[in-house]
Amino acid sequence: MPFGSDALNFNLKQLQAFVWVADLGSFRKAADRLNTTQPNISSRIASLESVLDVSLMERDAGSVRLTSKGQMLLEQARKVLAATDHFIEAANQDALMNGQLRLGVTEMVVHTWLRDFLRVLKDRYPNITVELTVDLSANLEKELFERSIDLAFQSGPFKRETTGSKDLGVFPLIWIASPETGLHSRKQVSMEDLVHYPILTHARGTQPYQEVAAHFASRRDLAARLVPSSNLAACIHMTIDGFGTATVPAAMVLNELQNGELVQVNYGWTPKSLSFSARYDAEKSAQFVLRAAEISSEISLRFALEFAAKNRIVTVG
């Protein structure tokens, strides 16, 4: 049978639908992932099965299971999609890449180098749209393994390993306060000095919060008032308005320190620096996801180096 016959008349959209239904176990979730309708996904799968004259999956109430033939063809479908991506790259035609990047980031990334990353990504892949999720690192990890997002810019420690990861650098934390507290005028601030004010922290369950809680718990004679927040920007604003002192990534408050809204507090301890990584599934992700991770590493590490070179912020720990 010749290669150009109708028997081989299937397309990439059908293969994409097959792969996403298999990965997510749901026609509805695959439709959402591919920005189409469930009937369209069903039609693509049915057309692919008709052309191949095989049954790829069995549909039970509320679930989808691949047949043995479907299991075998799934990896081949991945290879076809990957080969298409490599073909476009080899032709230096990244603008032909289309699709959606579901990106999850922490708040610190939003307030530092995310904008630079998005500009570079758009320049290289103008037809890739970005759906952005901003959340705590622990929540992003869960979404990454559920395949709700493709790529996560998050800080460790991580509970699970990913098959793909790029280093995004290390970002130290500092103590900050409103200048009205007068804490910056002291050569060395003691724990007794700090606990006069509420301690504004990262959200409960995060590594910085746990370290702050353990640090102040070491002095049972002092009653530290910890005020956790899932929104660091709000935490910074509260610090500016004199609601307490806080420990946050230095890179997030550079402008506020420069314009005098905030001052750095010389306290001899901070939580450990935040180590960030771009994490993804190297075996199942589209090629542009891997390239996006590489771009993010270049942008983030450059930002960290430039920040360290330009700013005389003293960090400890």
What are 248-257's pLDDT values in tens digits?
Answer: 999 999 999 9
Instruction: Provide the pLDDT for residue 310.
Output: 75
242-269 per-residue burial string, b: 16 or more CB within 10 A, e: under 16: eebbbbbbbbbbbebbeeebbbbbbbee
Instruction: Provide the pLDDT for residue 150.
Output: 96
Give the other-Cβ count within 10 Å of 314's Cβ: 9
Instruction: Provide the pLDDT for residue 96.
Output: 86
Cα 283 to Cα 87: distance, rounded to the nearest angstrom: 18
Residue ranges of domains in the chain, CATH in brackets: 6-90 (1.10.10.10), 94-168+274-310 (3.40.190.10), 173-265 (3.40.190.10)
Instruction: Provide the pLDDT for residue 3.
Output: 45
Instruction: Provide the pLDDT for residue 37.
Output: 94
Cα distances (angstroms) measured from residue 2 to each of 5, 8, 9, 51, 84: 6, 9, 12, 15, 22
Instruction: Provide the pLDDT for residue 94.
Output: 85
Cα distances (angstroms) measured from residue 301 to each of 124, 133, 218, 294, 307: 19, 22, 35, 11, 10
Instruction: Provide the pLDDT for residue 313.
Output: 62
Report the amino acid identity of residue 31.
Answer: A
Residue with token string 């952005």 = 132
Name residues whose C-beta falls within 8 Å of residue 188's C-beta, 6 or more positions apart in sequence. 266, 267, 268
Paired tokens of 177: 């306060």
Smallest CA-to-CA distance from 73 within 48, 105, 97, 103 is with 48
Instruction: Provide the pLDDT for residue 2.
Output: 46
**Residue ranges, the chain, pLDDT below 70:** 1-8, 311-317
Instruction: Provide the pLDDT for residue 93.
Output: 86
Instruction: Provide the pLDDT for residue 199.
Output: 97
Instruction: Provide the pLDDT for residue 8.
Output: 58
